[in-house]
Amino acid sequence: MAEDLCAEDRRQLLDVARQVIASALGVAPVQAQTATASPTLSEKRGAFVTLTRRVDGELRGCIGYVEPLFPLVETVSRAAMAAALHDHRFTPVARGELAELAIEISVLSVPRPIRPEDVVVGTHGLILRVGDRSGLLLPQVASDHGWDAETLLDHTCLKARLPPGAWRQPEAELLGFTATVFSEASQRN
C-alpha cells in the first residue's frame, strides 16, 4: 500500500513530475527518472497528478492511471505530462505558468468493490461504472467540498455523465480505493 512511501520517495516523485512538465515545455532537458528509483517506486501502482495554480488554487489539470499498469515512477511521469498538456478540460499549461504550478500526487490502492453504505468521506475515492459510462473522484474531493457520502456518490454519477442516484441502479458497479496524497507544500512542512 502507498503508506510505505517514505519522505524521499515522495520527494522523488514530486521532482519527477516537475521535471517531466519542465522538459515537455522546453524549460529543462529531459532526465532519466528511473535510474535511482527505490524498490517502492519500481512497483506497479496507480496514481494521479493534480496541477493547480498557487495563487488561487484553480485546477489546471488532473490525470492519472487507476490500475497499476506501470512502475510508480513511470505512472507519475506519464500522469504529470498528461495533466499538463492533455487534460481536455483545460488549455495546455504554458511555459510561463510552470513556476506558479502546485503539484499534488495521489498514489492509489487497487480499486475494490464497495457498498454505498461503506463509503467513508475523506478515505474512499470512488469509481462508478454503468454501461459504457464511468466516473472517478479522488478521496480528497469530497473533503475539499464538505460533502457527505451520498453527495459524493451523486457527484461520482455526474462525473460519469449520469444523473444523481444512478449509483442505486442494479447494474451500477461501484469501486472504492484509498490514496496517499502529498504535494510540494506538504513536503516542505
What DSSP letter does each residue of 142-174 carry, written as one string?
HHHHT--HHHHHHHHHHHTT--TTGGGSTT-EE
Q: Are 46 and 65 in contact (CB under 8 A)?
A: yes
pTM, entire model: 0.89
Q: Give the residue ranges of DSSP H helices in the chain.
A: 7-24, 39-42, 72-85, 139-145, 149-159, 184-188
Nearest C-alpha neighbor of 112 from the set 148, 66, 150, 149: 66
* CA–CA distance, 31 with 39 (Å, rounded to integer): 19
Positions in the chain whose pLDDT score sits under 70: 1-3, 30-37, 188-189
pLDDT tens readout for residues 31-48? 655 446 688 999 999 999
Sign of CA pseudo-dihedral 34, 179, 111, 164:
negative
* CA–CA distance, 184 with 14 (Å, rounded to integer): 7
pLDDT of residue 185: 81
pLDDT of residue 189: 56
pLDDT of residue 124: 97
Q: Which domains does the chain have, with CATH numbers?
A: 2-108 (3.30.700.20), 112-177 (3.30.1490.150)
3-state SS class at 3: helix
